[in-house]
Structure 1
């Protein structure tokens, strides 16, 4: 045992590194993107910051999209979210910004699936209206009325002309946002559950979080932590679970099955308790079957939209 322990301690590599991969990645990805950025910067300096320059750049370069995303600091996943939302909402201002009506793609509105990288790149290459729409998003997305009320400010402020024009202050802003992204995402105040806590505190309703005693005693579910138990674990009158998903995953099916099972146990052991669910985010929107199963589990369902939070506030006052 001691010899094995010493092997790990004395021969620890600290960081895994495949030198062949590292060299190829530097040459074929990092240096390529750097070259594309320099070429784009020179084109802007010679011809001006015009939308058509960026459209040509997108359509002519395999990594054109990645290059522009580097400039504005927007994650590829967040771009996909915006594209999916545009296909869903049919908002006039967003349609005009992104040229949605000219994308020439068939939408099955009852079952919209998120597009993958290959689909998006094919559209950029073969549909100039789609490419122009992305460029307009990068140029003036922050001033779009729909995006202004939908995107978090942290993401909205990435979509402006200064970013795409190599403005030095805007690039500093991009560096800062990139550095702070983890802290921003992990901040407790930015957690959807914090809004529920604020509402409960504002109407002086006590709550606890944790395991329900009868589950532990009778079902051995000693790790099934409930988000909010009102007023306490011993006498639950309202039980609240929250699920906000900005991405999709296969785990959503398991989550839905679990919530249905929990709902049955609540009815069995706490028949007088109401089971509330907060279900929100585009991740649920595009997984309709899982969403339907999730909704079946709850007595009442809410989202985190402002009017829904007010409805929750009134419901909780009435039911408690």
Structure 2
């Protein structure tokens, strides 16, 4: 009984699918012909995939021989390999879609868009490298480099999107206008993010601090490790990572300990009343003079001074110790 029910269900499904396909095609459907056509297309598609994969492997092997063993792990080889892989995938996709009867206009548009995308990618690689080398040659500040590289990436991406959509019949003016409307809507919906973005550009232009400076922002002490367009990244002396929104950074008091070079640190040390300040100085000075991170130049010599008499750390007396680092 179960077998007969399964056979009846399979026959009903076959009949329903056949009726649907016949209604779409408007002609009598022959299952044998359809199956042979599908298998033939799949077989040809596999041949195309094998041909493009084999061509890709041959080209990669040729590039390996040309560049040599010592250059196969360089950035140049990785970029060349990515471009060849992209071309192989694009070619295989176009041939397979053509095999399944895709519209020639769509295929031409996909081919143009694919090659243009590759062109934008290569432009981004070459122009980005030239920009980085130029900024490095002229010793541009690292924070300004980040701003220029981010803006360049955004511009290239926007141009690529508009150009690629234009290949499929979209109007460039309409796309730009639509992006402008979307930008206004996003600006109203994300005012906090937009204010952080504007504040980040202001910080990169005014440069109250630079990457590597030790600063105090909103009560947070740390070393500036990155100035992004939305946040400023600090690493504290305890190796704790902190991200502060740029809007908060721009509106708060900023103390930069590295702007004028070396900084003198005052480290209070408490001793008991019965102890001798002179003896404490004789103990501390050799330690300061021998420490490699303590500066010994003119005007920066370490000093041990008696600052006050009073309770400190539970002790009845205190001294003060100054040294420059």
Taking structure 1 as the reference length, what is the TM-score of the superposition? 0.23
Tell me which of the two structures has the higher relative contact order, counting C-alpha pairs closer than 8 angstroms and 6 or more residues apart: 1
Larger Rg: 2
The structure where strand makes up a greater share of residues is 2
Taking structure 2 as the reference length, what is the TM-score of the superposition? 0.22
